[in-house]
């Protein structure tokens, strides 16, 4: 862990962003290999992350926070929406295809971009909009061969849309307080609150919390370390330096990496739509991050 709000100077923020996206992408592979309820896995994923991060967090970090009551309310709101994102997203997959959910998830940068404009007065240029459209087009191509419409699918798509909105609020709330609180402390609070939301959900639905094999607990631990600490935590760490919009654009690449990992690790086939869409998505993201990298390097000379 780090002792400041800024990313380590040895790593360019976009390198850290790639590491976090890769880590989150691995979670889809891990979930496919496990039969445990996703709501339980998500709950322990967050709670175990909190325990690990507490070992690397000092009282000095907590005392360095320059927060008022309104700021702490934003932290609570962020954690609440993180937990709701997990719940709505998981439930959407019961009704609709992963491909359809993926297309809706790709709308997250649009939500974040609009929120950033109204909350932080961030303006976007035509190049940024063009790059985002290209990346979104790639996501649509990937899912084109697997999108189907039915009553259940529409329910799933609605739940996925709500989950995507929740994830956008989570990122925007994090950016709002990123300059006032250490990323470690912030992550511990929001992960704990998000895990509590999922705990309440599991208790209401009488989902077993303890009757799991040792291999399942290892799985929970790996979920905490890889996609949460090396994924979600780094997202939180980067909010101050590159902003929620750039982080959310990077998340568009998650499905592409997940498809590649599934091909390499699980032996899943890669369709022509997935290959073509992945190339288009990476092209759009590449242009976006190239332009952002030039601007970042100029500002930090």
Task: Take residue 141 and report the two structure tokens written for it.
Answer: 């191509």
**What helix, strand, coil percent values describe the chain, rounded to 5?**
80, 0, 20
Q: Report pLDDT digits (tens) over 101-130.
A: 666 777 777 788 778 777 777 766 777 777
Contact assessment for residue 132 and residue 269, using Cβ atoms and an 8 Å cutoff: no
Q: Which pLDDT score, from 0 to 100, does residue 224 have?
A: 94
Among 76-85, 194-203, 288-297, the minimum mean pLDDT is found in 288-297
How far is Cα 231 from Cα 282, in angstroms, rounded to an integer?
19
Contact assessment for residue 207 and residue 36, using Cβ atoms and an 8 Å cutoff: no
Contact assessment for residue 187 and residue 53, using Cβ atoms and an 8 Å cutoff: yes
* Residue partners of 104: CB distance under 8 A and separation at least 6: 157, 160, 161, 164
Q: What is the mean pLDDT of residues 72-96?
A: 86
Q: Report pLDDT digits (tens) over 268-284.
A: 666 677 677 777 777 77
| pLDDT bucket at 265, cuts 50 / 70 / 90 | confident
Give me the percent of the chain exceeding a pLDDT of 70.
Answer: 77
| pLDDT bucket at 97, cuts 50 / 70 / 90 | low
**108: burial class by Cβ within 10 Å (0-12, 13-18, 19+)?**
buried
* Residue partners of 86: CB distance under 8 A and separation at least 6: 39, 42, 163, 194, 197, 198
- Whether pLDDT at 94 is above 80: no
Query: Looking at per-residue confidence, does 237 or 3 come out higher?
Result: 237
Burial 26-49 (b: 16+ CB within 10 A, else e): bbbbebeebebbbbbbbbbbbbbb
Q: Report pLDDT digits (tens) over 10-52.
A: 467 888 888 988 888 787 677 767 788 888 988 999 999 999 9
Q: For the chain, what is the mean pLDDT?
A: 79
- Whether pLDDT at 207 is above 70: yes
What SS3 class is residue 6? coil
Query: Looking at per-residue confidence, does 91 or 9 come out higher?
Result: 91
The answer, as to whether pTM is greater than 0.85, is: no
| pLDDT bucket at 1, cuts 50 / 70 / 90 | very low
| pLDDT bucket at 176, cuts 50 / 70 / 90 | confident
Q: Which pLDDT score, from 0 to 100, does residue 141 have?
A: 73
Q: Which pLDDT score, from 0 to 100, does residue 107 have?
A: 73
What 272-276 contacts at long range (C-beta under 8 Å, 24+ apart), as own/partner pairs, is 273/141, 273/142, 273/143, 273/144, 273/145, 274/142, 276/141
Q: Which pLDDT score, from 0 to 100, does residue 78 have?
A: 95
Query: Looking at per-residue confidence, does 106 or 168 come out higher?
Result: 168
Q: Which pLDDT score, from 0 to 100, does residue 79 have?
A: 95
Q: Report pLDDT digits (tens) over 223-249.
A: 999 999 999 999 998 888 888 878 877
- Whether pLDDT at 200 is above 90: yes
Q: Which pLDDT score, from 0 to 100, does residue 2 have?
A: 43
Tokens 């649009």 appear where? 110
**131: burial class by Cβ within 10 Å (0-12, 13-18, 19+)?**
buried
* Residue positions counted in the chain: 301
Q: Report pLDDT digits (tens) over 125-162.
A: 777 777 777 777 776 776 665 555 555 666 777 888 88
Going 212 to 213 to 216 to 218, the CA torsion angle's sign is: positive
How far is Cα 162 from Cα 220, in angstroms, rounded to an integer?
26
CA distances from 25 to 28, 68, 82, 227 (A): 6, 35, 17, 7
């Amino acid at each position: 862990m780090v002792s400041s709000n800024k990313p380590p100077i040895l790593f360019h923020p976009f390198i850290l962003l790639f590491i976090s996206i890769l880590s989150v992408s691995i979670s889809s592979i891990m979930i496919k290999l496990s039969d445990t309820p996703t709501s339980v896995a998500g709950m322990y994923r967050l709670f175990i992350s909190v325990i690990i991060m507490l070992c690397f967090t000092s009282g000095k970090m907590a005392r360095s926070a320059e927060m008022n009551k309104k700021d702490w309310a934003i932290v609570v709101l962020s954690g609440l929406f993180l937990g709701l994102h997990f719940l709505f997203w998981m439930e959407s997959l019961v009704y609709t295809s992963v491909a359809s959910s993926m297309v809706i998830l790709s709308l997250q940068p649009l939500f974040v971009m609009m929120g950033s404009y109204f909350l932080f007065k961030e303006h976007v240029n035509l190049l940024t909009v063009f790059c985002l459209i290209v990346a979104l087009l790639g996501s649509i191509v990937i899912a084109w061969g697997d999108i189907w419409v039915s009553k259940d699918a529409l329910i799933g798509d609605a739940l996925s849309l709500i989950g995507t909105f929740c994830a956008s609020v989570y990122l925007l709330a994090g950016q709002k307080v990123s300059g006032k609180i250490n990323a470690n402390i912030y992550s511990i609070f929001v992960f704990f609150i998000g895990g509590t939301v999922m705990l309440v959900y599991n208790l209401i639905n009488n989902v077993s919390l303890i009757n799991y094999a040792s291999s399942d607990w290892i799985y929970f631990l790996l979920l905490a370390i890889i996609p949460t600490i090396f994924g979600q935590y780094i997202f939180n760490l980067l909010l101050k330096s590159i902003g929620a919009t750039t982080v959310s654009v990077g998340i568009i690449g998650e499905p592409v990496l997940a498809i590649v990992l599934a091909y390499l690790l699980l032996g899943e086939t890669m369709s022509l739509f997935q290959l073509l869409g992945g190339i288009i998505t990476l092209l759009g993201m590449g242009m976006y991050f190239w332009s952002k990298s030039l601007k970042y390097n100029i500002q930090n000379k």
